Structure 1
């Protein structure tokens, strides 16, 4: 430090941040004491939002965002936390919040898309879209707090991402799946395929679980959270009040997924019989456990294990996948039974509003665009009805044209002097009318032509185009409009 200009200056101070807490900051690298003081004064003169954006990293902000999200569902928090810890913080955590912009995020997302997931496969478009869905609300909060001017995550486009729609397992798709192993991300069975599956799993302890999911379209969490008090078999109705699902390896039970998920579901007679048989089997298991000295916990859940405890939602998923493989049917997920229930109900004649209430959707758009697939039988009926409509319209058009042509067809008139054929007993009437119409014209006046005979008017003379003028007429009278007679004084 003996030499002039050696070293640098720094400042150290504290101020209130966006959360109302005192935050210390230390900045250095200034060439003079005056420069360090100016930087300190400038930093203290800024707002709390500016100081937070300049001093906080993306990692710190994402942690703060997760801590303030207290009203989200546990499963949503689990997915947000997984994206933040495993991807977003390792890639973007070191940057300052004020330095984020669209080019930086596009570069980071391109690098993430070039990596592989935990299974060694390339990152899917769905996973990249989920990362964007996680980052965007975090930066939206930063915009609302005034830390940044705009959300750069809005300008990120994930290529190749499309909202999946359920595909029906037609014969052609089944043949392609057998040959290549390719399957749609979301697929539904036809009525015959579903009937074959239910016939193969009749003896399974969770047969009522598969039946109720496939025919009434309940969610997995709603099925696992169903209690005996929610089912009224005498009235043929059950109510959805709870949702039992998993967040990682943790079982979480709470309210339904959406407010519209709290609903009543009507049961048909066959479904009531299936649930009664399931209840009798459950009581037999309880009696057998007591006789054999095994533990039984009366939890009042509809679907339980052999010891009375409620089943794990992940067990239902695994069990269903094994049963599908054993039946030799084209693969579908457990959640795909919900899509299939909507499609089958639509085929049976249910309208979209009824399907929305059945599935517990908050918007009818979700029901129409995502959950309802058109089955082959419905397509054939629609095609036949459309063809019948078009062909019927074509026949009506041909009949109209034929009728109009017959009406406009000219009739052959008899020659002059020949008698006009008429029906018996009506010959005197046309002659009487003709007699009335024929009046004697004054001498010198040209006879007028018949109003219908416009092509060959009768003339007084044989010269074409000439009209005879009476003694009392002048040539001007022929061209003077009616009502404009000459005035006389």
Structure 2
């Protein structure tokens, strides 16, 4: 039986055995190491030397940069490639320049808070700052599981976004754009028209193939998206970014969208090989989101419409649906949202015309 708190045993073969915690796995479960000697005193001295050496090594190896690399390597096994690339960018661009030189025990709330404030002051989006903060918190939790203690409680940092009205096309702009697209139909213009009447994202459009459109059922299936991401192996490949086609980031984004009849009639005239991309009409060539954005800007210029981002089509689609009495739950599912609240808070713009129509419903009170 070991002496209290020492983990030193006498074995059946007469030797003494000492046990110590050598490491901890990702679930914080202890991984033990063992030492042996001819006497209790010999084993105790060996344990003290190992523990002393381990303590000094822990102090040296608790560098935040090193732990960030370990955390990222562990994430490689459980997240999508695009997510890993996002984490890698955040760590390389924001976290290592800020905290890379620190030991975990020296990371302070003031340093992180001041950096968050500076990001917002320089015009970074609140979501970007929150993404950076989330990764820092996750790395600190990983450090705790590894046995490195710190006194940096980041839970008190709260970054709240100021709610702003989303930008949409006016009815005049939308009508003008649609007339141009219908009168100048090609593969890319057809794609823009699809976005106006289905609300799909630009990445989903770029990955869309003709096999995803069921003409008989009049349904468009969204099951993948195209992204340009940082190449996680760029050192070997000599390229900093690459294009990937991957399932959407959430299960809710995998969805089927009914297609209006007049759009189906247009699609029938453009039907291609099922394996061909909708935007190119070929199986091998595709158009990436960045190139599609550039093309969209050119179309807007030809239409005499102000320069806006492609994503405005999604905002516009959602708004027009609301203005025409669309049932919110159905709209939320069409947009691929996980909840109705996201649809209402983020994408649905309440126009002045809609507000005026609702206020006019109160006219009966004056009768």
* TM superposition score category, shorter chain reference: 0.7 to 0.9
Q: Secondary structure at the residue paired with 1:252? A: strand
Matched, 1:269 2:245: no
Using the TM superposition, give the Cα deviation of residue 238 of structure 1 relative to its aligned residue in structure 2, in angstroms.
1.9
1:82 alignment partner, one of 80, 84, 89: 89
1:237 alignment partner, one of 206, 219, 234: 219
Q: Distance in 2 between matches of 1:259 and 1:53?
A: 42
1:210 alignment partner, one of 172, 179, 192: 192
Between structure 1 and structure 2, the one with the greater Rg is 1
Residues 58 and 148 of structure 2 are in contact (CA less than 8 Å); yes or no, is this contact kept in structure 1? yes
> Which runs of 5 or more residues in structure 1 are unaligned?
1-14, 23-36, 115-121, 168-186, 284-297, 393-489
Q: Distance in 2 between matches of 1:54 and 1:385?
A: 71
1:63-462 equivalences in 2 (<5 Å) = 63-69=69-75, 70-109=77-116, 122-126=122-126, 127-148=128-149, 152-158=153-159, 162=161, 165-167=164-166, 187-202=167-182, 203-205=184-186, 206-248=188-230, 249-279=241-271, 299-304=275-280, 309-386=285-362, 388-392=363-367
What is the aligned partner in structure 1 of residue 11 from structure 2? none
**1:389/1:331 CA distance change after superposition, 3 Å:** farther
Using the TM superposition, give the Cα deviation of residue 333 of structure 1 relative to its aligned residue in structure 2, in angstroms.
1.4
Q: Deviations over 1:179-201 (max 9, x none)?
A: xxxxxxxx111333211112223
Residues 222 and 244 of structure 1 are in contact (CA less than 8 Å); yes or no, is this contact kept in structure 2? yes
Q: Distance in 2 between matches of 1:355 and 1:128?
A: 30
Matched, 1:43 2:19: no
Query: Bigger shift: 144-153 or 94-103?
Result: 144-153
**1:113/1:221 CA distance change after superposition, 3 Å:** closer
**1:272/1:305 CA distance change after superposition, 3 Å:** closer
Task: Give the aligned length.
Answer: 318
Residues 53 and 97 of structure 1 are in contact (CA less than 8 Å); yes or no, is this contact kept in structure 2? no
Using the TM superposition, give the Cα deviation of residue 41 of structure 1 relative to its aligned residue in structure 2, in angstroms.
6.4
TM-score, normalised by the number of residues in structure 1: 0.58
Q: Distance in 2 between matches of 1:53 and 1:372?
A: 52
Using the TM superposition, give the Cα deviation of residue 325 of structure 1 relative to its aligned residue in structure 2, in angstroms.
2.8
Q: Deviations over 1:26-48 (max 9, x none)?
A: xxxxxxxxxxx9996663576xx
Q: Distance in 1 between matches of 2:118 and 2:322?
A: 44
Structure 1 or 2: larger helix share? 2
Q: Distance in 1 between matches of 2:172 and 2:144?
A: 53
Residues 276 and 283 of structure 2 are in contact (CA less than 8 Å); yes or no, is this contact kept in structure 1? no
Q: Distance in 2 between matches of 1:194 and 1:72?
A: 39
**1:200/1:67 CA distance change after superposition, 3 Å:** same
Using the TM superposition, give the Cα deviation of residue 96 of structure 1 relative to its aligned residue in structure 2, in angstroms.
0.5
Q: Secondary structure at the residue paired with 2:227? A: strand
Query: Bigger shift: 144-153 or 330-339?
Result: 144-153
Residues 225 and 248 of structure 2 are in contact (CA less than 8 Å); yes or no, is this contact kept in structure 1? yes
Q: Deviations over 1:85-119 (max 9, x none)?
A: 122112210111122221232344456667xxxxx
Using the TM superposition, give the Cα deviation of residue 317 of structure 1 relative to its aligned residue in structure 2, in angstroms.
1.4
Using the TM superposition, give the Cα deviation of residue 315 of structure 1 relative to its aligned residue in structure 2, in angstroms.
1.2
What RMSD, in angstroms, separates the aligned Cα atoms of the two structures? 3.3
TM-score, normalised by the number of residues in structure 2: 0.75
Q: Distance in 2 between matches of 1:134 and 1:315?
A: 30
Using the TM superposition, give the Cα deviation of residue 257 of structure 1 relative to its aligned residue in structure 2, in angstroms.
2.3
Residues 253 and 336 of structure 2 are in contact (CA less than 8 Å); yes or no, is this contact kept in structure 1? yes
